[in-house]
A and B are shown apart, each in its own frame.
Chain A
Amino acid sequence: MASVVLSEPEKIYILHGVQEDLRVDGRGCEDYRCAEVETDVVSNTSGSARVKLGHTDILVGVKAEMGTPKLEKPDEGYLEFFVDCSANATLEFEARGGEELGSELGNTLYRVFSSDKSIDLKSLCINPRENCWILYVDVLLLECGGNLFDAISLAVKAALFNTRIPKVRVLEDEEGSKEIEMSDDPYDCIRLNVEDVPCIVTLNKIGYRHVVDATLEEEACSLAGLLVSVTSKGALTSVRKVGKGSLDPESIFEMMETGKRVGKALHAALQKILDEEESLGSSRQKVGFLG
């Protein structure tokens, strides 16, 4: 992960501040940075979203393609994740440097979405065992400013909300051969229900307290942390310890409670923005990349 080199006095400064619930930029331990979320920024995808969380900039594009379902789940579609760490993000990602981080992020996304309750995969099925929709979710890291997992999960949820999959009909001939017909109207499409899609909350342990949404400097001070994925109803779907250090069991219990609280608030805020964008419809002023 991109990291900054901090001197000992700087680390002590951050540590003491966190003990008093006051971080370097004035936030409390459970506050997120100001986040900007915009959907439908890339025109040739089925759905896209861009999230800017402080200095962290993530772009997600979703493309829906027809393919054959997996053998062990013949009546469901599936999602494929790919995370690309752009060389623009930080010097360490030059050439193949970002591959390890990219595959770690991708594996985390697979684990978070592995539960079959998060997205209704059966709605992506066209013909059992023959055709289904495969959603290719591509995540692009434009800038790395700490707390990548949270920003990526927000962007993925927003992009899935924005995804429009064309409606298809299956026509059967007399001989039994099936033909797939796509509707002519470009606005006739199915939308995904993202109510149960979880959001990732990373909690980093600094001293005796833990912080949410750590910047790069705070991540350098923290030896261990907990990554939890929370649904909008407050249920935790996955738990993972990150970092080189170890955690006290009591800290883990506290972090899970904080994660649930913060996660629910995060979901509510994101849903509000998405509903607002939806209600503006085509009259929305798109800011795009130059805003």
Chain B
Amino acid sequence: MPLDHRRVPGPEESQPPELWAAAGEVPVKGREEEDDGAAAPRDPCALRPLFARAGLLSQAEGSAYVELGGGTKVLCAAWGPREAAEPGAALSGTGRLFCEFRRAPALVLQDGGSALAAAISAAALALADAGVEMYDLAVGCALCRCPGPAAAWLLQPGEPEERRAEARLTLALLPALNQVSAVLGGGQGSPPESWAQALRLGLDGCHRLYPVLRQSLLRASRRRDAAA
């Protein structure tokens, strides 16, 4: 099979160390109880505290840092506008947005669940900070559904919830226009009503996160004016 050249080259047989750690450990009963306690009812609509700050890299034209409570940290930088290198792009007449999503060391500093959603918000903030004209800020939100019959969808899952999840959904919304710009979901099958319910929950979450992102942009521009 031909290799995927876009991936970071590494040995093909590499495995995460957690696999070996779990095999060697003696199971401790106390640990199981703790896990059950953590899985105890959590408000499915609760949003994790989000910290967003724009304009922190001096070298990049626009940058943003988004941190979700529970350990997801995403840093994004935007450069441009730059001339598109490929000859094909010149014919199309439209600009090309080149996106790079790297796990470490640059972009996703720590994945504590909902990394893609945080990255979408960070990228939108960075572009806005760079002064690129956009229709609206894209706000990303992630959901997951726990295993078990008739389980509810949880908003912004943390890493342990995401690992145990039966189905996942990430969506990006343009709140001012109320248009969905991206949906990505997968997992165990469920009827469309369940996915629709998840979408509604996600849309609500995006609307609630929108003011936070706008505030951070406002603060960044004030800081820039004060420094200039």
Contact = CB atoms under 8 A, between A and B. Distances in A.
Contacts of B186: 111-112, 114-115, 237-239
Contacts of B185: 238-240
A246 B188 contact: no
B191 A235 contact: yes
A69 to B, nearest CB: 13
Contacts of A259: 192
A82 B183 contact: no
Interface string B171-208: 00010011111111111111110011001100100000
Contact of A253 (B2, B178, B181, B199): B199
Contacts of A226: 183
B1 interface: yes
Given A71-B19, A80-B1, A252 B180 contact: yes
Among A246, A256, A260, chain B packs the most CB atoms within 10 A around the CB of A246
A109 B174 CA distance: 28
Q: What bracket does the count of chain A residues touching chain B fall in?
A: 20 to 34
B195 A236 contact: yes
Interface residues of B, number: 29
Contact of A260 (B1, B19, B178, B191): B191
Interface string A211-236: 00000000000000010000101111
Interface in A151-177: none
A246 B180 contact: yes
A246 B177 contact: yes
Nearest to B183: A241
Contacts of B189: 115, 117, 196, 198, 231, 233, 235-237
Given A82-B1, A253-B196, A236 B190 contact: yes
Nearest to A231: B189
Interface string A88-115: 0000000000000001000000011011
Nearest to B94: A244
Interface string B190-228: 111001100110010000000000000000000000000
A249 B1 contact: no
A203 to B, nearest CB: 12
A71 B6 CA distance: 24
Contacts of A235: 189-191
Contacts of A257: 192
18 contacts: A80-B1, A115-B187, A235-B191, A236-B191, A237-B189, A239-B169, A240-B184, A240-B185, A241-B180, A241-B183, A246-B174, A246-B180, A246-B181, A247-B180, A247-B183, A249-B203, A253-B196, A260-B191
Interface of B: 1-2, 4, 6, 15, 19, 169, 174, 177-192, 195-196, 199-200, 203
Interface of A: 71-72, 80, 82, 103, 111-112, 114-115, 117, 136, 196, 198, 226, 231, 233-241, 246-249, 252-253, 256-257, 259-260
